[in-house]
């Protein structure tokens, strides 16, 4: 597997591009505006075919270029069904530009898999930031694409529409059970590991609440 990342847009969203080297099939995670030019260039340079656009959740800074990337590549859009309505009818709260609607065609279900070439990503439903937030676990590669559930030293906010502190506590407790060496690639900020975040995750699990 080959993985590329680029920081995109006004709130510095991490856009991830992952490909299977043998089949040359690829997926994009969280296609923020304006990532199309970067994605198209990388796909063309490496002769990769984009098969799927994955939205870890419905916020505008993670879905803004879904429609353009889908139109350019023919790739389908995947999201958890609880967040799907907000791709078709975006909530561009504080967005500095219009967020085009996009049409999800693939449901990301708890325990399901995203498959491309020999790569397998397990879908973990991790609500809290939004109702349909997901993480993608690459068990073979030792990576977790955590969206806005877990950041380096922090976690996604729960005070926006669809957010829930109770759900976030449960989701972070679930991530606490993963291996220390797992590399965490969040939707914003630098990468980390479960081991580096263990003290925070253990505190949240023990207290049953988020730190203030």
CA distances from 130 to 119, 125, 203 (A): 27, 10, 22
Q: Which pLDDT score, from 0 to 100, does residue 93 have?
A: 82
The answer, as to whether pTM is greater than 0.85, is yes
pLDDT, block means (10 residues), the chain with 212 residues: 96 98 97 98 98 98 98 98 97 89 96 95 98 97 98 97 97 98 98 98 98 92
Q: Going from the N-terminus, what domains does the chain have, and what CATH number goes with each? A: 2-207 (3.60.15.10)
- What count of residues does the chain have? 212
Which ranges constitute the DSSP H helices of the chain? 36-46, 60-63, 66-73, 85-88, 165-176, 198-207
How far is the CA of 100 from the CAs of 67, 97, 147, in angstroms?
7, 9, 20
d(CA 87, CA 105): 11
3-class secondary-structure state, position 11:
coil
């Amino acid at each position: 597997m080959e993985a590329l990342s680029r920081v995109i847009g006004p709130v510095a969203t991490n856009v991830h591009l992952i490909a299977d080297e043998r089949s040359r099939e690829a997926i994009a995670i969280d296609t923020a505006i304006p990532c199309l030019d970067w994605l198209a260039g990388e796909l063309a340079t490496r002769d990769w075919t984009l098969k799927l656009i994955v939205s870890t959740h419905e916020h505008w800074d993670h879905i803004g270029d879904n429609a353009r990337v889908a139109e350019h590549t023919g790739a389908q859009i995947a999201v958890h069904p609880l967040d799907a309505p907000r791709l078709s009818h975006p909530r561009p709260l504080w967005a500095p530009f219009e967020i085009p609607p996009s049409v999800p065609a693939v449901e990301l279900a708890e325990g399901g898999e995203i498959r491309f070439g020999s790569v397998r990503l397990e879908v973990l439903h991790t609500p809290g930031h939004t109702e349909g937030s997901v993480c993608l676990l690459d068990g073979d590669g030792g990576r977790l694409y955590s969206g806005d559930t877990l950041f380096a030293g922090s976690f996604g906010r729960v005070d926006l529409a669809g957010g829930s502190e109770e759900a976030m506590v449960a989701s972070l407790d679930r991530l606490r059970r993963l291996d220390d060496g797992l590399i965490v690639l969040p939707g914003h900020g630098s990468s980390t590991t479960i081991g580096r975040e263990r003290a925070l995750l253990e505190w949240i699990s023990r207290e049953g609440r988020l730190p203030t």
